[in-house]
Amino acid sequence: MAKYESLVAQIKHQIESGVWQTGDKLPSLRKQAEQSGMSLMTVLHAYQMLESQGWVTSKSRSGYSIAPRMENVTTSPIKAIRSIESIDINDFIFDVLQATRNPHMVSFGYAYPDPSLYPRQQLNKSLVAAARDLSVSNALDNLPPGNDSLRSIIAKRYAAKGMNISPDEIVITAGALEALSLSLQSVTQPGDWVIVESATFYGALQTLERLGLKALFIQTDPKMGMDLNSLEQALQTHSVKACWMMTNMQNPLGYTLSDEKKRALVELLQRYQVPLIEDDVYSELYNGEELPLPAKAFGHENIMHCSSFSKSLVAGFRIGWVAAGKQALAIQKLQLMTTVTTSVPIQLSLAHYLSTRNYENHLRQLRRKLHLRKQQTVKCLQQHFPSDVLIHVNAGGYFVWVELPKQVDTLKLYHDALAKMITIAPGKMFSSMEEFSHCFRINTSFELTEPRIRAIKMLSSLIQAQLNHA
Amino acid sequence: MAKYESLVAQIKHQIESGVWQTGDKLPSLRKQAEQSGMSLMTVLHAYQMLESQGWVTSKSRSGYSIAPRMENVTTSPIKAIRSIESIDINDFIFDVLQATRNPHMVSFGYAYPDPSLYPRQQLNKSLVAAARDLSVSNALDNLPPGNDSLRSIIAKRYAAKGMNISPDEIVITAGALEALSLSLQSVTQPGDWVIVESATFYGALQTLERLGLKALFIQTDPKMGMDLNSLEQALQTHSVKACWMMTNMQNPLGYTLSDEKKRALVELLQRYQVPLIEDDVYSELYNGEELPLPAKAFGHENIMHCSSFSKSLVAGFRIGWVAAGKQALAIQKLQLMTTVTTSVPIQLSLAHYLSTRNYENHLRQLRRKLHLRKQQTVKCLQQHFPSDVLIHVNAGGYFVWVELPKQVDTLKLYHDALAKMITIAPGKMFSSMEEFSHCFRINTSFELTEPRIRAIKMLSSLIQAQLNHA
């Protein structure tokens, strides 16, 4: 536990045990530093953390005082739910992602795994096989819901997890993003409230922006995920039309919900009859014995389970799907109005590839390599980053969430790094709030070469420079 | 000219020359039949045609009377512009298109050319070549605006037509429909007025429905296209935010605007500063000496030129583009929020195919075959269809627009034909108005085999049955 964290825990405990009451002023930074023997910076970091979690409030010149507690709701702090009526983030995300196109960049901000991990030769063979298969009859098949064999293979992969999903409820889409976006559209109207995590995948924010939806952000812990009490509070206080969540290796924070929590989540949403749009694109990249199940495994009803092959196989094919239950037809109709369907030869080539045993072999290798590279990269980050930087590492996937002292602005860090040909994914991408302006996401899927180590050192000195100026 | 058409022309002339004044009653059907020596049915057909064009109005029991003339506007009849505030057509189109998926259907309703006309072998070779080309660097390239080589090849094809389009303004999309839909979205807000043809491509209606836009339908002649006076009137009377049109081999009517008309159209829209979204997916399928130019060739400003390879090369690849001018960046940002980009290997394979000479050879053959098959199919239609059926045949493309006597309901015909394993594209697909309920579109790109001839005879007897019952 970092020093500031122990101070945070200590003060929380004091508030809960009644040492501090609502309105009480906390000791000044200087006084607290003297009392605790910690640096001024560490105390500031702790106070800011308490503030961001809603335990204290600050007013300029008058210091930090204890925030009013929530009534009825047990431990969820007041800022656990935040609402926003108009999202405007796409321009920023566009600029950040465009920067990753440059092959000369050291792309810590890249969204996909290192492309050199794709099974290119085997994919090539499947493309060739699909080319041979391209017949008149499957040429006619360019309408939703997509290729029959591919949908049937996907259904069989669900069956292997013990999930009973009919091919009839599966719609093939242009990556998971189209699946998520059509799913959300099928159950909402502009102006509706939608629940999302905070921090959340930026695609959720973009889709809310595009569809004119209002967001309820539920505070989400980098280890434990969403607080279900806060979720229920949001369901009680707002007419919520959908909930968009990642249950496995959440992007950007990295946590995987436990089976118990998934079950509780599903029960809660069913009680309030709110559809769940489940983004589950990383679950094949687990690390450990068992593939984590999606929430949909704990109750089919009203859950649209969205996934793709973009993270586990190859990014550029743009093939995803949704297991949409009773929304399957509505989603097909929405798809017909926009993209019609995805490329037929690519669907065929995936069907070919997946019907061989290559995919399981590939996944085993991919998991091992991603795990190894993450370990190496994290070690390097720990070695070079300032000691009051918090590196949140979770099992599986290839993202690491880095939390800097509150006074560091990762948007500035992003621009400074860009000038040095390094990209990061700044916290601003993952929320419409300012609460992650001191965080960023790092892609650990690339080999830790010398240039990458140098880039980590460079990031570190850019961070240090900000800390020195603060 | 059909009999009823000469009566229509005669009465129009009489109205224009002042024989009939606003409010005057036309002779009753029976009286007109006696006077002209025509059948009651022919007179009814003529009166209904005059009504649909806005020259006369009818009230139950009191017969037909002369409609009020437009003031200021020269010859455009009052019903040349119709507005509708809420479009609801997608469910119907979905059902019709799904029926064409069945390979056992005789698909006169099919939207694409006969898939056996695709250069499958050569496309296969390009898919194989693309598979080999799939490198780490182009795997990184999965963001808008799409593959650089493909955009540069498309720009060179514009240059060959004498058009100066930079690759920078080209965005690769999932077929032309995504290009059209993103273009429209980039210049409108929900509730805005948009001008479309009547009849129009159903994709325009679906997009208006999805984006919550209001439609101004401008009456469109199967030979001459849109009446520019009516267009100007619509521009004068409504705050129009965009105009969506097909200038070459319009779907479903088949006409190609003359260069003069295209120039006048562009000037008119520029005068009112209304962006043109130009759907130009059939122009490669011209018949004659010269490729018809798009309207964008007559004035770049504010014209988004959308096309694809789905009609001229292969349907299932789902690759289109827009030459978007100053909207190119806005369109890329919208794409990032929905489908991100189109499949990388498919873009590469098209770039490979197009950089060989195969495409021009293929197009030459395709044009010749489509022309031949259309001639044969039209001959067969003329031979078997009742004589008061109007078959609108235009140069190029592979659609024929069939206009039946007004009392025939082509929605019923569609359902009757479906039961006999024949699909047609009924008029209801192409307008939110009822004015084309007696029309349908026929795909003439398939070889005129015995089963197809039998299907034409079956259609004919289904039409005759309706005429007999009317």
A418 burial (CB, 10 Å; 0-12 / 13-18 / 19+) is middle
Residue A191 sits at the chain B interface (C-beta within 8 Å): no
Is A124 among the domain residues? no
Is B80 among the domain residues? no
* End position of a domain, from candidates B360, B379, B410: B360
Residue of A139, A319, A346 lying closest to B115 (CB–CB):
A139
* End position of a domain, from candidates A333, A357, A381: A357
The alpha carbons of chain A give a radius of gyration, in whole angstroms, of 23
Contacts of A334 in chain B (CB under 8 A): 210
pLDDT at residue A372 tops 60: yes
- If you average pLDDT over residues A174-190, what whole number do you get? 95
> In chain A, which residue's Cα lies nearest the Cα of B332?
A94
Cross-chain residue pair A139–B316, CB shorter than 8 Å: yes
Look at chain B and report how many structural domains it folds into.
Answer: 3
Within a 10 A sphere around the Cβ of A12, how many other Cβ atoms? 18
> Rounded CA gap, B285 and B249, in Å?
8
Is B76 among the domain residues? no
Residues A98 and A215 in one domain: no
CA-based nearest distance A162→chain B, Å: 30
CA-based nearest distance A298→chain B, Å: 29
Cross-chain residue pair A127–B345, CB shorter than 8 Å: yes
> Rounded CA gap, B372 and B368, in Å?
6
- Domain containing residue A328: CATH number: 3.40.640.10
3-state secondary structure A362-381: HHHHHHHHHHHHHHHHHHHH
Bridge-based pairing state of the strands B399-403 and B439-443: antiparallel
Q: Do the beta carbons of residue A22 and residue A68 sit within 8 Å?
A: yes
pLDDT at residue B100 tops 80: no
- Residue A71 has a pLDDT of 37
> Quick one: pLDDT band at residue A76, thresholds 50, 70, 90?
very low
Q: Do the beta carbons of residue A398 and residue A14 sit within 8 Å?
A: no
Write the single-letter amino acid at A468.
N
- Residue A73 has a pLDDT of 30
ipTM comes to 0.74
Phi, psi of A217 (to 5 degrees): -90, 125
**Helix, strand, coil fractions of chain A, as percent rounded to 5:** 45, 15, 35
Query: Residues of chain B with pLDDT > 70: what percent?
Result: 95
3-state secondary structure of B157: helix
- If you average pLDDT over residues B282-306, what whole number do you get? 92
**DSSP string of A233-260?**
HHHHHS-EEEEEE--SS-TTT-----HH
> Quick one: pLDDT band at residue A72, thresholds 50, 70, 90?
very low
pLDDT at residue A4 tops 90: no
Phi, psi of A194 (to 5 degrees): -130, 140
Per-window interface: A 197-216 vs B, CB < 8 A:
206-207, 209-210, 212
Bridge-based pairing state of the strands A214-221 and A225-226: antiparallel
CA-based nearest distance B319→chain A, Å: 8
3-state secondary structure of A64: strand
Contacts of A314 in chain B (CB under 8 A): 139
Contacts of A212 in chain B (CB under 8 A): 190
> Rounded CA gap, A344 and A140, in Å?
10
- If you average pLDDT over residues B153-164, what whole number do you get? 92
> Quick one: pLDDT band at residue A145, thresholds 50, 70, 90?
very high
> Quick one: pLDDT band at residue B73, thresholds 50, 70, 90?
very low
Q: Which of A130-139, A197-206, A427-436, B23-32 has the highest mean pLDDT?
A: A197-206
Tens of pLDDT, residue by residue over A312-330, are 999 888 999 999 999 999 9
Is A191 among the domain residues? yes
CA-based nearest distance B159→chain A, Å: 28
Which of the two residues, A47 and B195, has the higher pLDDT score?
A: B195
Torsion angle defined by CA atoms of residues A206, A212, A216 and A220, in that order, rounded to the nearest 10 degrees: -10
Q: Do the beta carbons of residue B329 and residue A98 sit within 8 Å?
A: no
pLDDT at residue B13 tops 80: no
Q: Do the beta carbons of residue B200 and residue A200 sit within 8 Å?
A: no
Residue B443 sits at the chain A interface (C-beta within 8 Å): no
- Domain containing residue B35: CATH number: 1.10.10.10
Per-window interface: A 323-352 vs B, CB < 8 A:
332-334, 336-346, 349
- If you average pLDDT over residues A425-442, what whole number do you get? 92
Is B126 among the domain residues? no
Residues B298 and B338 in one domain: yes
- A469: Cβ contacts below 8 Å, ≥ 6 apart: none
How far lies A443's CA from each of A114, A256, A339, B316, in Å? 9, 17, 30, 34
Residue of B98, B128, B345 lying closest to A317 (CB–CB):
B345
> Rounded CA gap, B102 and B145, in Å?
35
Q: Do the beta carbons of residue B282 and residue B249 sit within 8 Å?
A: yes
Contacts of A151 in chain B (CB under 8 A): none
Phi, psi of A67 (to 5 degrees): -75, 155
CA-based nearest distance B14→chain A, Å: 45
Q: Do the beta carbons of residue B198 and residue B218 sit within 8 Å?
A: yes
Residue A174 sits at the chain B interface (C-beta within 8 Å): yes
Q: Which two tokens stand for residue B240?
A: 């129009």
Q: Do the beta carbons of residue A451 and residue A115 sit within 8 Å?
A: no
Residue A319 sits at the chain B interface (C-beta within 8 Å): yes
Phi-psi sector, B278: left (phi>0), alpha (psi -120 to 50), beta: beta
Residues B241 and B371 in one domain: no
Smallest CA-to-CA distance from A309 within A108, A112, A110 is with: A112
> Rounded CA gap, A196 and A202, in Å?
11
Residues A62 and A145 in one domain: no
* Residue A204 C-alpha from the chain's centroid: 9
β-sheet with A390-392: strand ranges across:
A390-392, A399-403, A439-443, A425-426
> Quick one: pLDDT band at residue B70, thresholds 50, 70, 90?
very low
> In chain B, which residue's Cα lies nearest the Cα of A131?
B124
> In chain B, which residue's Cα lies nearest the Cα of A145?
B98
Write the single-letter amino acid at A165.
I
Bridge-based pairing state of the strands B63-66 and A106-107: unpaired
Residue B311 sits at the chain A interface (C-beta within 8 Å): no
Within a 10 A sphere around the Cβ of A133, how many other Cβ atoms? 16
Residue of B103, B132, B212 lying closest to A124 (CB–CB):
B132
Residues B102 and B197 in one domain: no
Residue of A128, A333, A346 lying closest to B346 (CB–CB):
A346
pLDDT at residue B243 tops 60: yes
- If you average pLDDT over residues B100-121, what whole number do you get? 88
Query: Residues of chain A with pLDDT > 90: what percent?
Result: 62
> Rounded CA gap, A25 and A278, in Å?
42
Residue B115 sits at the chain A interface (C-beta within 8 Å): yes
- Domain containing residue A447: CATH number: 3.90.1150.10
Phi, psi of B279 (to 5 degrees): -95, 115
Q: Which two tokens stand for residue B108?
A: 């006169």
> Rounded CA gap, B173 and B195, in Å?
23
Q: Give chain A's mean pLDDT.
A: 89
Is A332 among the domain residues? yes
> In chain B, which residue's Cα lies nearest the Cα of A110?
B140
Instruction: Return the minimum-mean-pLDDT range out of A45-59, A291-305, A410-424, B441-455.
Output: A45-59
Cross-chain residue pair B127–A123, CB shorter than 8 Å: no
Cis peptide preceding B167, ω within 30 of 0 = no
> Quick one: pLDDT band at residue B72, thresholds 50, 70, 90?
very low
Residues A271 and A169 in one domain: yes
Cross-chain residue pair B345–A138, CB shorter than 8 Å: no
Residue A86 sits at the chain B interface (C-beta within 8 Å): no
Bridge-based pairing state of the strands A422-423 and A214-221: unpaired
Residue of A319, A337, A343 lying closest to B317 (CB–CB):
A343
> Rounded CA gap, A353 and A367, in Å?
19
Residues A404 and A434 in one domain: yes
Residues B140 and B283 in one domain: yes
> Rounded CA gap, A328 and A315, in Å?
25
> In chain A, which residue's Cα lies nearest the Cα of B342?
A318
Residue of B100, B124, B338 lying closest to A134 (CB–CB):
B124
Residues B180 and B279 in one domain: yes
Range of the structural domain that residue A28 is part of = 3-69
Cross-chain residue pair A174–B174, CB shorter than 8 Å: yes
pLDDT at residue B442 tops 90: yes
Is A329 among the domain residues? yes
* End position of a domain, from candidates A340, A357, A374: A357
- If you average pLDDT over residues A49-55, what whole number do you get? 77
Residues B188 and B251 in one domain: yes
* Residue B389 C-alpha from the chain's centroid: 20
Contacts of B101 in chain A (CB under 8 A): 140-141, 143
Residue B447 sits at the chain A interface (C-beta within 8 Å): no
Contacts of B118 in chain A (CB under 8 A): 139
Residue of A140, A337, A343 lying closest to B206 (CB–CB):
A337
Residues B140 and B175 in one domain: yes
Bridge-based pairing state of the strands B214-221 and B81-84: antiparallel
> In chain B, which residue's Cα lies nearest the Cα of A116?
B136
Q: Which of A177-191, B11-25, B127-141 has the highest mean pLDDT?
A: A177-191
The alpha carbons of chain B give a radius of gyration, in whole angstroms, of 23
Write the single-letter amino acid at A328.
A
Residues A162 and A253 in one domain: yes
How far lies B108's CA from each of B99, B434, B452, B456, in Å? 11, 22, 9, 9
Which position has the token pair 């880039």? A455
Residue B143 sits at the chain A interface (C-beta within 8 Å): yes
- B181: Cβ contacts below 8 Å, ≥ 6 apart: A337, A338, B203, B207, B210, B211
